[in-house]
Homo-oligomer: A and B are copies of this chain.
Amino acid sequence: MPRLSLFFLSLLLVSQAEAQQPDSVIRSIFSEALTDTTAYHHLRWITKNTKGRLPGSGEALLAVEYTRQALIDAGADTVWLQEVSVPHWKRGEEKAVIISDASGRSELTIAALGLSVGTAEEGLTAGVVEVHSFDELAKMGREMIGGKIVFFNRPVDDKLINTFAGYGGAVNQRVQGPSEASRYGAAAVIVRSATHALNDFPHTGVTRYAADIDPIPAAAVSTIDAGLLSEALKKDPDLRIHLLLTCKNLPDTVSYNVIGEIRGSSRPGEYITVGGHLDAWDNSEGAHDDAGGCVQSIEVIRLFKKLGVRPQRSVRAVMFMNEEISGTGGRAYAAQAMERGEVHYAAIESDRGVMAPRGFTFEASGERLLKLKSLAEWFGPYNIRDFDQGGGGSDIAPLKQLGTLLIGYIPEIQRYFWYHHSANDTFEQVNIRELQGGSAAMAALIYLLDIYGY
């Protein structure tokens, strides 16, 4: 059957020619992503209908169901939920009022920290001590701190170009501050919001009580009101604050990772994961953090399916649950992969906001890093140039034990902390084109990684 053989030969040649021209595939990925509004509509639905989606909430379950359906609609070959044990913390009433003989009463804009215990029902009233570091706290000691509200007021360092480094330099006040203050007998903690923004949004986030301390109530205050409080303390060091927090920790409950998979053509047992986290702070629509990363990951599936690009390896989009509080979603995903003996070649996380794409960071070094950096050449036409060594993300980090190549998606980050963990993180703060570009960038990288196997 020479004619039939010729036919198959020509098919093979076309297929090889296509494999040798990734630039046309990448072009088609960007063109489709930049002209389709599916991901943007998903983002709108999640942010507007599931606000309050803390890990243990009903809103989170609604987001689970919505994205499960979205993955089916995107054309994933298989879609399933993975059970995850999650904490169940509930915000309640929250109020802080300065009481000063000199300047009267003024209310502060605050938000309880995640996992914080509440105050007594009637609240508490105490003097305030402003500190800027744990060293300063230790020097003051129990004598000056005991019974007081500790006000951590070290700002983010605006001079650091990497805004995540700036955030990282301030956020220990939120995460460990309440525990450290409790060691010296503090009554409660108020912490300056860990943000570059000077505005009136409190930025919440988790606090972690050490095992050996008495948990004390803790809240973030907006940066404007942190300045106001600091000024008030200068005028009247004896001022007191009345603090009321009715937040509480309920028993752990069950939620889910949502997973959608395209089965690989020739290496279906090897996986490339792309994901974001579905949970978000309850005071926020969680558009940039991180509904955006989720809908971009769903869009990667849609792009492959729509364009008929079939990867050799299986590609999974994962909506991780409980990134914000205790990371059980990421750990459950890696644990199950290990248990099943899955080979996880690479994983990409989108959890730095959905601003315009700039590049990727790779947890790699030496020769491998050089090869990965060489992939940047494919992205030149899309102004995506930053291929650097750096971290992947907290949801995919547990895959490290499987030898997985961990990759962080890096958008423009200068304004991210204006939104992060606050009511300012809304759908309206996301630009559709910047969202779309991120989906395309991740799809293109997965496509290239699958070809080259670096």
Q: How far is the CB of A343 from chain B (nearest CB, A)?
A: 35
Map CB proximity to B onto A398-425 as digits: 1 under 8 Å, 0 otherwise: 0000000000000010110010000000
Residue on B nearest A436 in the bound complex, by CB: B158
- Residue A382 at the B interface, CB < 8 A? yes
Contact call B386/A415, Cβ cutoff below 8 A: no
The CA of A412 and the CA of B418, in the complex, are separated in Å by: 17
- Residue A34 at the B interface, CB < 8 A? yes
Known A196-B433, A433-B196; judge A382-B415 contact (CB<8 A): no
Of the candidates A159, A162, A196, A383, the one having the most CB atoms from chain B within 10 angstroms of its own CB is: A383
Residue on B nearest A35 in the bound complex, by CB: B158
Q: Which residues of B contact A355 (CB under 8 A)?
A: 412
Task: Give the residues from 326 to 378 in chain A that come closer than 8 angstroms, CB to CB, to chain B.
Answer: 355-356, 358
Contact call A386/B383, Cβ cutoff below 8 A: yes
The CA of A111 and the CA of B158, in the complex, are separated in Å by: 40
Q: Which residues of B contact A381 (CB under 8 A)?
A: 161
Q: Which residues of B contact A158 (CB under 8 A)?
A: 34-35, 433
The CA of A434 and the CA of B385, in the complex, are separated in Å by: 19
Contact call B386/A358, Cβ cutoff below 8 A: no
Q: Which residues of B contact A35 (CB under 8 A)?
A: 158-159
Known A385-B386, A418-B431; judge A412-B356 contact (CB<8 A): yes
Contact call B414/A159, Cβ cutoff below 8 A: no
- Residue A31 at the B interface, CB < 8 A? yes
Q: Which residues of B contact A412 (CB under 8 A)?
A: 355-356, 412
Given contacts A34-B159, A356-B414, A385-B386, 13 further A-B contacts (CB under 8 A): A30-B161, A35-B159, A158-B433, A161-B381, A161-B383, A162-B383, A355-B412, A358-B383, A412-B412, A414-B431, A414-B437, A415-B433, A415-B434
A-B contact pairs, 5 of them (CB 8 A): A161-B382, A162-B383, A414-B431, A414-B434, A415-B434
The CA of A196 and the CA of B433, in the complex, are separated in Å by: 9
Q: How far is the CB of A402 from chain B (nearest CB, A)?
A: 31
Interface residue from B31, B34, B385 paired with A385 (Cβ < 8 Å):
B385
Residue on B nearest A431 in the bound complex, by CB: B415
Q: Which residues of B contact A34 (CB under 8 A)?
A: 158-159
The CA of A385 and the CA of B418, in the complex, are separated in Å by: 24
Task: Give the residues from 136 to 183 in chain A that come closer than 8 angstroms, CB to CB, to chain B.
Answer: 158-159, 161-163
Residue on B nearest A437 in the bound complex, by CB: B414
Map CB proximity to B onto A22-38 as digits: 1 under 8 Å, 0 otherwise: 00000000110011000
Contact call B386/A414, Cβ cutoff below 8 A: no
The CA of A34 and the CA of B162, in the complex, are separated in Å by: 12
Q: How far is the CB of A106 from chain B (nearest CB, A)?
A: 24
Map CB proximity to B onto A412-454 as digits: 1 under 8 Å, 0 otherwise: 1011001000000000000101100100000000000000000
Contact call A415/B356, Cβ cutoff below 8 A: yes
Of the candidates A162, A415, A418, A437, the one having the most CB atoms from chain B within 10 angstroms of its own CB is: A415
Q: Which residues of B contact A30 (CB under 8 A)?
A: 159, 161
Q: How far is the CB of A85 from chain B (nearest CB, A)?
A: 39
The CA of A291 and the CA of B355, in the complex, are separated in Å by: 23
Across chains A and B, which 9 residue pairs bring their CB atoms closest together, nearest first? A415-B431, A356-B414, A31-B159, A34-B158, A414-B433, A356-B412, A35-B158, A414-B434, A161-B382
Q: Which residues of B contact A382 (CB under 8 A)?
A: 161
Q: Which residues of B contact A386 (CB under 8 A)?
A: 383, 385
The CA of A383 and the CA of B390, in the complex, are separated in Å by: 14
Q: Which residues of B contact A383 (CB under 8 A)?
A: 161-162, 358, 386
Residue on B nearest A415 in the bound complex, by CB: B431
Q: Which residues of B contact A437 (CB under 8 A)?
A: 414
